[in-house]
């Protein structure tokens, strides 16, 4: 089996019932979560990877106006260029590239079969 050069390093579960999701994943897998959302921005509960295996992720509270979801994120060097390649390959950009105040850039894509996926580039390293 060949190895990918684009690792999946993050997941996000969007739900209008974050407490129930946290309880479920805690009971199923022993995951623990820490609230990391800024005040007045909705809940964003983060869990870390265990050891050298696994990926980190979070539960994002939604307002119930959109369907619940689970999406994985691939870490890429250039989010805008990845969006262009996705469109050339038959996918589409659902959420265009956006950059957080910390410098993390992300986008949501739809593959040709209708599945949602995310791509992101971490903030630049501070020297």
The CB density around residue 24, as the number of other CB atoms within 10 Å, is 15
The pLDDT tens digits along the chain (127 residues) read 666 678 888 899 989 889 899 888 888 678 889 988 777 778 889 988 666 667 889 999 988 888 888 899 999 999 999 999 999 999 999 999 999 999 999 999 998 888 889 999 999 886 5
> Are 83 and 96 in contact, with CB atoms under 8 Å apart?
yes
CA-nearest of 118, 43, 72, 54 to 34 is 43
CATH number of 11-71: 3.10.180.10
Q: Does domain 76-127 have CATH number 3.10.180.10?
A: yes
Structural domain spans, the chain: 11-71, 76-127
Q: Which residue has the tokens 């990918």?
A: 4
């Amino acid at each position: 089996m060949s190895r990918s050069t684009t690792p999946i390093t993050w997941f996000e579960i969007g739900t209008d019932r974050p407490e129930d999701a946290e309880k479920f994943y805690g009971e199923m897998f022993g995951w623990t979560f820490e609230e990391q959302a800024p005040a007045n921005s909705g809940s964003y509960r983060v869990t870390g990877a265990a050891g050298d295996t696994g990926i980190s992720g979070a539960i994002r509270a939604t307002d119930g106006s959109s369907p619940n979801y689970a999406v994985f994120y691939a870490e890429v060097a250039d989010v805008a260029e990845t969006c262009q390649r996705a469109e050339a390959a038959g996918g589409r950009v659902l959420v265009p590239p956006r950059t957080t105040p910390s410098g993390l850039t992300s986008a949501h894509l739809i593959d040709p079969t209708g599945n949602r996926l995310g791509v992101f580039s971490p903030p630049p390293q501070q020297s």
